[in-house]
Amino acid sequence: MAEAFWAEQVAKMSHALQSLSEVSERLASGVKDHVLFAGSVKLLDVGNGTVFAKQFEFGATCGSAEIFNPGANLIVVQASTQQGNIPQFGQGTYRVPTNTWRLVNIGQRVFTVYSTAADIVGVQALTTGGVYGAGSLV
């Protein structure tokens, strides 16, 4: 009987700590339900007419991002600040082919989405990491 009592107390404590963690995250960053950003963005010219990008920067660490590419151009995502050229490879660099979506783990407060044209891209950035996933939009 005492074991059941203590098991219930431990469960209550665990739930309280989880709730406290969620409240702390919300207070520190304005985040609700682990969502930092959800919407569509148009990639803008970075000044040379051949590289278009959008940098995302948050007050909390972005654990992962789902990138939806309904356009005709390859999308490149890099877990770093915006650069003048589209990164081709390296740690934290992911490719999202046309008419597909991909979940990428970021693990930083900033990431950048690149293309060679002013594409519209769907982005959902979360504070939690995810299991890698990808799929077709058609």
pLDDT per position as a tens digit, 80-116: 998 889 999 988 899 999 999 999 999 999 999 999 9
- What span, in angstroms and rounded, lies between the C-alpha atoms of 104 and 63? 9
Q: Is 87 exposed, middle or buried (0-12, 13-18, 19+ CB in 10 A)?
A: middle
| 65 and 13 within one domain | no
Contact 107, 129 (CB under 8 A): yes
Sign of the torsion formed by the C-alpha atoms of 78, 84, 90 and 96: positive
| 1 and 55 within one domain | no
| 115 and 90 within one domain | yes
Rg (CA), the chain: 19
Total domain count for the chain? 2
Q: pLDDT at position 114, please?
A: 97
Q: pLDDT at position 23, please?
A: 56
| 117 and 64 within one domain | yes
Domain that holds residue 11: 1-30
| 40 and 25 within one domain | no
Q: Is the pLDDT of residue 123 over 90?
A: yes
Q: What is the CATH number of the domain that holds 80?
A: 2.60.120
| 51 and 5 within one domain | no
Quick count: other Cβ atoms within 10 Å of Cβ 63? 17
Q: pLDDT at position 25, please?
A: 54
Q: Which of 102, 107, 103, 75 is nearest to 91 (CA)?
A: 107
| 91 and 77 within one domain | yes
> pLDDT tens digits, residue range 19-37?
555 555 555 556 666 889 9
Three-state DSSP at 81 gives coil
| 19 and 81 within one domain | no
Q: Which two tokens stand for residue 115?
A: 């293309």
| 74 and 40 within one domain | yes
> pLDDT tens digits, residue range 41-70?
999 999 888 999 999 999 888 999 999 999
- What span, in angstroms and rounded, lies between the C-alpha atoms of 85 and 9? 55
| Residue type at position 15 | H
| 43 and 102 within one domain | yes
Three-state DSSP at 22 gives helix
Average pLDDT of span 117-130:
92
| 56 and 7 within one domain | no
| 60 and 17 within one domain | no
Q: Give the global pTM.
A: 0.76
